[in-house]
Amino acid sequence: MNIFRISLRRGAIMITLATIAVTVLVHVVHADAPKTAADYAADPALMIDAYRHVEAASVSDAIEQLLHEKRYMSHHMQAIFPTKFAGTALTVKLVKEENHDANALSGMLKAIDSGGQGSVYVMTVEDGADIAGMGGLMGTAMFSRGFAGAIIDGGVRDLPQLKKIGFPVYSTGPVPSTSVSHYRFGGMNLPVVCDGVKVSPQDIIVADQDGVVVVPRDKAPEVLVLAQHLDDSEHSMYPFIEKFHSIEEAVKQFGRI
């Protein structure tokens, strides 16, 4: 009788362990399964997070292959320190206009306080290569609100403070000037052209050491899936080239250059 009970217990334990194993296996397989464009469209937060892990170059290539468009900013747009981020565009426009209006730029500050976690501040400064569109105070405010970064089609100043807090900014270069009394707020969350690229509110901004790419929001899931595929292909080619010492054979094998 005792032997029979022990056998039953052993059988129950084996069944339980088998069930756990199957559950874990199913969970792992599900976790490792590649996401589809539909998955990303249904979960915007997951999509933004995934964009943080793909290279800007692959995103740019994916856009060119899918949309046949140039959506990357030029070499003029430089980071104040090596960086990588992705987020959704909050657009701001400054219009050149000499003035003595203390409230001429108040809308710019309101725009910052309207953004939050994952926002990317995208500002165009009319004829602003030698005008600082933002500095340490604005950068500190963005950092405190959880902005992912800033893209300024114009100058930037107060680099020591921005570097101290680690807030990533792309701009056309550092300048000590100010926009106060020389510019007026021209609007927020409207389509702008930043370094020659159209940016609409909520477009996805992807930036790394290769530069800045703008992904149209309505095409972002499809672009992401292709960019991930291009990333995987390229990263697989590195060890192949190192082993066989031939980029020609690698391109034949993976179809990527």
Per-residue pLDDT of 107-116, as tens digits, reads 999 999 999 9
Amino acid at 160: P
Does residue 33 lie in a domain region? no
Higher-pLDDT residue of 236 and 43 is: 43
- Pick left, alpha or beta for residue 5 (phi over 0 → left; psi -120 to 50 → alpha; otherwise beta): alpha
Q: Give the residue among 166, 49, 145, 142 at the shortest CA–CA distance from 92.
A: 142
Per-residue pLDDT of 169-224, as tens digits, reads 999 999 999 999 999 999 999 999 999 999 999 999 999 999 999 999 999 999 99
pLDDT of residue 253: 77
Q: Which domain holds residue 150?
A: 72-214
Q: What is the CATH number of the domain that holds 92?
A: 3.50.30.40
pLDDT of residue 236: 74
pLDDT of residue 39: 97
pLDDT of residue 249: 78
The C-alpha angle with vertex 167 and arms to 165 and 170, in degrees rounded to 5, equals 145
pLDDT of residue 189: 98
Lowest mean pLDDT among 83-92, 115-124, 232-241: 232-241
Q: Is the pLDDT of residue 226 over 80?
A: yes
Q: If pLDDT is split at 50, 70 and 90, which confidence band does 10 have?
A: low
Q: If pLDDT is split at 50, 70 and 90, which confidence band does 31 have?
A: very low
Q: What residues form DSSP beta bridges with 206?
A: 86, 213
Three-state secondary structure readout of 80-126: CCCCCEEEEEEEEEEEECCCCCCCCCHHHHHHHHHCCCCEEEEEEEC
Does residue 209 lie in a domain region? yes
Higher-pLDDT residue of 121 and 31 is: 121
Does residue 63 lie in a domain region? no
Amino acid at 93: K
pLDDT of residue 4: 45
**The pair of three-digit structure tokens given for residue 149, joined into one six-digit string:** 């970064």
**The pair of three-digit structure tokens given for residue 144, joined into one six-digit string:** 């405190």
Highest mean pLDDT of the ranges 10-24, 94-108, 223-237: 94-108
Per-residue pLDDT of 64-81, as tens digits, reads 999 999 999 999 999 999
Q: What residues form DSSP beta bridges with 63?
A: none
Does residue 136 lie in a domain region? yes
Per-residue pLDDT of 132-168, as tens digits, reads 999 999 999 999 999 999 999 999 999 999 999 999 9
Does residue 114 lie in a domain region? yes
Does residue 194 lie in a domain region? yes
Mean per-residue pLDDT over the chain, rounded: 89
Does residue 116 lie in a domain region? yes
The structural domain count of the chain equals 1
Does residue 50 lie in a domain region? no
Lowest mean pLDDT among 31-35, 39-43, 101-105, 208-212: 31-35
pLDDT of residue 250: 74
Q: Are the C-beta atoms of 172 and 180 separated by less than 8 Å?
A: no
